[in-house]
Structure 1
Amino acid sequence: MPGAPSIYTLSPQPHLSAAECERGLRLLVIEAAFSGGATALTTGVILTAFALHLGASNVMVGILASAPFLAQLLQLPAILLVERVRQRKRIAVFTSIAGRLMLAVMAVAAYYTGSAALWVFLAAQFTLCGLGAIGTCAWNSWLRDLAPEDRLGQVFARRTVWLTAINLLLGLVAALALDLTGEGSSSRNTVFAAMFAAGCVTGLISARVVSGMPEPLMPPPIGSVRLGELLRQPLRDLNFVRLLVFVGSWQFAVNLATPFFTVFIVRQLGLPISFVMVLSVVSQIANIFALRSWGALSDRFANKSVLAVCAPVYILAIVGMIGASQFADREMMKAWLVMLHLLMGASVAGVTLTSTNIALKLSPRGSATAYVAASATVTAVAAGLAPIMGGLLADFFARRKLELLVRWSNPNGVSTLPIGLTSWDFYFLIAGLLGLYAIHRLTLVEERGEIERREMMGQVLAETLRSIRNISSVAGLRDATAVPVSLLRDARVRRRLRRAQAHKKHN
């Protein structure tokens, strides 16, 4: 086909037709299937399970969890690279290829034991994350100029649906594979090696798809590029600074505890890794159901309005993890964890989608690189320090326990309910308190078109009832009863106002 080779050029194009933009957006969604495969097989629960399989301590798990975030500090020099080279696709493709090759190194590490294998594994992970951070800086700036602003929510929601679907499918496969192999066995070594090798292959295919997406030519630079000046630009924007404070406090709160969910479930609750994978799949299912609604609502109203609903639900679910350690019945414990992961999966879908969109939306077109990098830097520091602090303090909390005894007396006798907080329970409680502060900071951010939480909840309920008819929870039922009552109260007030105005006109 004439002209086909130019599709895969790595150079930016001075002019993009509408057809080329549409092709790029289609490839953006298709690429998610392959990058999602690499992510599903090599991150999250599988990454932590692999580290525990190699004998990682709590501190090592914390350092491992911090790698994706601390590596984001490389976005600072990446700003200079993007602004000087001005070929964002070339940077994104090359860093993607080099980074995904590190997954092959991790696959080989599965067949070795001891501290040496752990350090090789950790070094490969930091290299992968570092290259990914450089590529992400170019990728985000590129997409900001490619995707129309009024379609950001729709495009990224479709992309995230693909990512979630792949995570769901491969999560089930991984859970089955881990369930069929014994802990510490050679067969489990092969399973982990196969996962990371497959992740390497799908990641390289992802880079190939990305090379086919068109890149708009960046606006010409004005004078020389100075890193300090680029970083000061977003810091002079008061509203964006407020967003940075929210992002930092939110990331610290969430990442203080959530990276240790796997450790908590396996070591403190004594449940198998395969069940943790099942919980991950449950969370992904909730993502699939929720994402379309969140994307539609963020486009119709505002990202902040969606965040005001999703963030509190996610924080309450984290605190709710404390309840898992209170159950003596293991089946009740499992049911509780499943319910929490449904809530977290649905709410984090909205948080992830809208927090990305709001950072892009508040960034000026053509100058998004510095804004996105500033947001990524704050995220890196906050989210990177939180799990390390959690790992270092793990032993401190492991030797301490807080017990509360709730006693109910009646004519028929006395009933008692013991409540005990140990080890990771403390992290979940602290994360909840920090999350409340982050939500307070969100209220200070201004976004054009934001609506009140009450109206937002009405739209959420309407969208939810159209897509999910048979799922309910205590929190959901409470909101479902609160919203109609408030709407009826408003209707009565408006009716009284109209009557008073009519009476005044007649008199």
Structure 2
Amino acid sequence: MPSAVLRTILVPRATISPEARERGLRFLLIDAAFATAIGALNSGVVLLALALHIGASEIEIGVIAAIPLLTQMLQAPAVTLVERVRRRRLISVACVFGARLALPVYAAVPLIPDRNIAVDVLVAAALLHYGLNAVGACSWNSWMRDLLPEEQLGAFFARRNLYGTVVGAVATLLAAFALQRAGRSDPGGDRVYVALYLIGFLCGLASTAALAQVPEPWMGRRRGRPSLRRLLLRPLRDRNFRSVLRYLASWQFAVNLATPFFTVYFVRELGFSVGFVLTLTVASQLANAAVVRGWGSLSDRFTNKSVLTVASPLYLLCIAGMIFADDFTGELSRPAYLLALHLVMGAAQAGVGLAAGNIVIKLSPAGAATSFMATNALVGALASGAAPIVGGWLTEFFAARKLHLSMEWTSPSGTAELFGVGIVHWEFFFLLSAVLGLYALHRLSVVTELGSVERREVIQHIVQSARYNLRNASSVAGVRQALAFPADALIKSREGTRFLVEALFERHRDTRAPEVAQEAVGTMLDAAFEPPADDMFDALVRKLDAQPGRD
């Protein structure tokens, strides 16, 4: 009976009706909500906090932080599995269900009295959990690439990320409250971690059931036996996709050199509780949720590369800003500074995560998305997985060294220090991460995406709409509107202006005096968008001059 159910429910379809597609998208949102709850309750900060709770060393923490990244390499052999079985939904559902069986094993780790055995079990459970998730992700990515229309990718994934982020923020807040109540008591902490991972297992069952309801299109007829080497090397023959891989690899290495150790830095160096660290995570997730739909609209309007050129530098500035956290000594100033950094970082991460994922999907050709996704995952896993291992290995080297930058003023009355910054231990990683991120931005500059615009234009439009909102902010609601990302109003106004330009052009199509239309359009554009008016005016002139029958 179970096999018959699998054949009838998980079988691909030759055609998918619009109603079935919409129903599947709703189940994808449900899957995102429960899957994100698992991530909030059982992964990331909570997983590293569990490692700290059982007494793992910094090198062991680096290895645990690298497992979710390095296991993405398993997507390479998963390509052959997908190409041969050609049942992507079946593979995805089976893998995520098996991966979530590791959650009860996590729950048993705090109850193991021997520290070394507990660490070994934790590492084994993480390998099982993230390894099977990686195999399932390979088939899931190809499945979504064929299920979703390309023009809806940005909007749908922004909506899906929004649902998941809101649920994840609530789940993280609950985990923070529970861990804060447990405090530093070992028995209390043991019970909290056991409860968190058992709740995560129940969420995993609900997520798997929802994912099984999403329809899958046919992959088409297989032509011969697929070669893994040929499938993985095919994306490397695409010059533009190679540029994307260089950017994503350098970015992943730069970011993951520092961010996995934020939890260790906050708890061991700054003395904060795990509950406070999770509260910072919630703040970052809320900032992410507040702007992710705006980033999605901008990615559809200005392309993903344009979004990355704005969001990536902002994220790097936040990482570099971590080196100043130790300079704030007040009871409120240091937490407030970290909170501000996480708010900005969450907003920037929303743009980076959405646009980076979309640009890979967009530049992957239809029908061959599986191999392109797997190659990207393989390269990204090598880069991002190596970073925390390198960081953990070099921790002793940086622990014994210190860099001090100071500015002094010398006068007849003596010498006074005007400015001084000391960089020690983990702070070296934060600075090095930001510096390496600059190279990643250079690699992004050579990526070609149809329709890309300059970063200056994107920022200019955002600032103009924000300035308009600030001028009209006269109440609490007005301030809230001013702080909201103004992408929707920006895009609507630009699209409305474009519509007027096209209508005016059609009206003057048969005239021999384009200067009449030029003058009217120029006046309209100057009134609406003063800085970009010249660019749009020149575009209109070229369009008018290109019409047949003109001298």
TM beyond 0.5: yes
The question of 1:374 aligning with 2:375 is answered yes
Give the Å deviation of 1:312. 0.3
- CA displacement 1:21-48 (0-9 Å, x = unmatched): 1111121112111111111101111111
CA distance in structure 1 between the partners assigned to 2:535 and 2:106 by the alignment: 64
Q: 1:464 to 1:168 in 2, by over 3 A?
A: farther
Give the Å deviation of 1:469. 3.9
CA distance in structure 1 between the partners assigned to 2:291 and 2:536 by the alignment: 33
CA contact (8 A) 2:66 2:385 kept: yes
CA distance in structure 1 between the partners assigned to 2:270 and 2:483 by the alignment: 27
The question of 1:454 aligning with 2:460 is answered no
CA contact (8 A) 2:33 2:168 kept: no
CA contact (8 A) 2:145 2:366 kept: yes
CA distance in structure 2 between the partners assigned to 1:201 and 1:299 by the alignment: 36
Q: 1:330 to 1:410 in 2, by over 3 A?
A: farther
The question of 1:345 aligning with 2:349 is answered no
CA distance in structure 1 between the partners assigned to 2:260 and 2:401 by the alignment: 21
The question of 1:317 aligning with 2:332 is answered no
The 10-residue stretch of structure 1 (381-390 or 272-281) with the greater mean CA deviation from structure 2: 272-281
Give secondary structure in 1 for the equivalent of 2:213.
coil
Quote the residue 1:278 is aligned against.
Answer: 279
CA distance in structure 1 between the partners assigned to 2:350 and 2:536 by the alignment: 36
CA distance in structure 2 between the partners assigned to 1:324 and 1:63 by the alignment: 26
Quote the residue 2:435 is aligned against.
Answer: 433
Q: 1:180 to 1:242 in 2, by over 3 A?
A: same
Matches within 5 A, 1:149-298: 149-298=150-299
Quote the residue 1:475 is aligned against.
Answer: none
Give secondary structure in 1 for the equivalent of 2:222.
coil
Matches within 5 A, 1:74-85: 74-85=74-85
Q: TM-score, normalised by structure 1?
A: 0.90
Q: 1:441 to 1:495 in 2, by over 3 A?
A: closer
Q: 1:182 to 1:226 in 2, by over 3 A?
A: same
Give secondary structure in 2 for the equivalent of 1:217.
coil
Give the Å deviation of 1:464. 5.8
Specify which of 403, 416, 424 is matched with residue 422 of structure 1: 424
Give the Å deviation of 1:69. 1.2
Give the Å deviation of 1:406. 1.9
Give the Å deviation of 1:410. 6.7
Quote the residue 1:359 is aligned against.
Answer: 360
Quote the residue 1:505 is aligned against.
Answer: none
Quote the residue 1:142 is aligned against.
Answer: 143
User: What is the one-letter code of the residue matched to 1:109?
Assistant: V
CA contact (8 A) 1:256 1:427 kept: yes
- CA displacement 1:49-91 (0-9 Å, x = unmatched): 1110011111111111111111111111100000000000000
Give secondary structure in 2 for the equivalent of 1:418.
strand
- CA displacement 1:453-486 (0-9 Å, x = unmatched): 11111333466676954549xxxxxxxxxxx9xx
CA distance in structure 2 between the partners assigned to 1:292 and 1:396 by the alignment: 43
Aligned length: 480
Q: 1:493 to 1:346 in 2, by over 3 A?
A: closer
CA distance in structure 2 between the partners assigned to 1:35 and 1:495 by the alignment: 48
CA distance in structure 1 between the partners assigned to 2:32 and 2:537 by the alignment: 51
CA distance in structure 2 between the partners assigned to 1:377 and 1:337 by the alignment: 33
Q: Identity over aligned residues, as a percent?
A: 45
Q: TM-score, normalised by structure 2?
A: 0.83
Quote the residue 1:386 is aligned against.
Answer: 387
Quote the residue 1:57 is aligned against.
Answer: 57
CA contact (8 A) 1:8 1:212 kept: no
Quote the residue 1:118 is aligned against.
Answer: 119
Greater relative contact order structure (CA < 8 Å, 6+ sep): 1
CA distance in structure 1 between the partners assigned to 2:537 and 2:372 by the alignment: 47
User: What is the one-letter code of the residue matched to 1:208?
Assistant: A
- CA displacement 1:255-302 (0-9 Å, x = unmatched): 000000000111111111111111101101110111010011111220
Quote the residue 1:408 is aligned against.
Answer: 409
CA distance in structure 2 between the partners assigned to 1:214 and 1:334 by the alignment: 46
Give the Å deviation of 1:322. 0.3
CA contact (8 A) 2:165 2:289 kept: yes
CA contact (8 A) 1:254 1:431 kept: yes
User: What is the one-letter code of the residue matched to 2:166?
Assistant: A
CA contact (8 A) 1:53 1:184 kept: no
The 10-residue stretch of structure 1 (354-363 or 413-422) with the greater mean CA deviation from structure 2: 413-422
CA distance in structure 2 between the partners assigned to 1:471 and 1:278 by the alignment: 21
User: What is the one-letter code of the residue matched to 2:436?
Assistant: L
Give secondary structure in 2 for the equivalent of 1:444.
coil
Give secondary structure in 2 for the equivalent of 1:214.
coil
User: What is the one-letter code of the residue matched to 2:193?
Assistant: F
- CA displacement 1:345-376 (0-9 Å, x = unmatched): 00000100110000000001111000000100
Which structure has the greater CA radius of gyration?
2
CA distance in structure 2 between the partners assigned to 1:52 and 1:184 by the alignment: 13
Q: 1:96 to 1:63 in 2, by over 3 A?
A: same
Give secondary structure in 1 for the equivalent of 2:404.
strand
Give the Å deviation of 1:108. 1.2
Quote the residue 1:130 is aligned against.
Answer: 131
CA distance in structure 2 between the partners assigned to 1:109 and 1:493 by the alignment: 62
User: What is the one-letter code of the residue matched to 2:92?
Assistant: A
Give the Å deviation of 1:7. 11
CA distance in structure 2 between the partners assigned to 1:449 and 1:462 by the alignment: 22
User: What is the one-letter code of the residue matched to 1:401?
Assistant: K
Give the Å deviation of 1:415. 3.6
Q: 1:468 to 1:298 in 2, by over 3 A?
A: farther
User: What is the one-letter code of the residue matched to 1:86?
Assistant: R
The question of 1:105 aligning with 2:105 is answered yes
| 5+ long unaligned stretches in structure 2 | 470-478, 485-525, 541-551
CA distance in structure 2 between the partners assigned to 1:310 and 1:7 by the alignment: 44
Q: 1:495 to 1:36 in 2, by over 3 A?
A: closer
User: What is the one-letter code of the residue matched to 2:454?
Assistant: E
Q: 1:470 to 1:80 in 2, by over 3 A?
A: same
Give the Å deviation of 1:328. 2.4
Quote the residue 1:477 is aligned against.
Answer: none
CA contact (8 A) 1:293 1:463 kept: no
Give the Å deviation of 1:418. 2.9
The 10-residue stretch of structure 1 (13-22 or 419-428) with the greater mean CA deviation from structure 2: 13-22
Q: 1:150 to 1:7 in 2, by over 3 A?
A: farther
User: What is the one-letter code of the residue matched to 1:421?
Assistant: I
Q: 1:271 to 1:490 in 2, by over 3 A?
A: same
| 5+ long unaligned stretches in structure 1 | 473-483, 499-507
Give secondary structure in 2 for the equivalent of 1:99.
helix
Give secondary structure in 2 for the equivalent of 1:421.
strand
The 10-residue stretch of structure 1 (391-400 or 85-94) with the greater mean CA deviation from structure 2: 391-400
CA distance in structure 2 between the partners assigned to 1:420 and 1:444 by the alignment: 36
Q: 1:312 to 1:89 in 2, by over 3 A?
A: same
Give the Å deviation of 1:129. 0.6
The 10-residue stretch of structure 1 (47-56 or 220-229) with the greater mean CA deviation from structure 2: 220-229
RMSD: 2.3
CA distance in structure 1 between the partners assigned to 2:174 and 2:83 by the alignment: 42
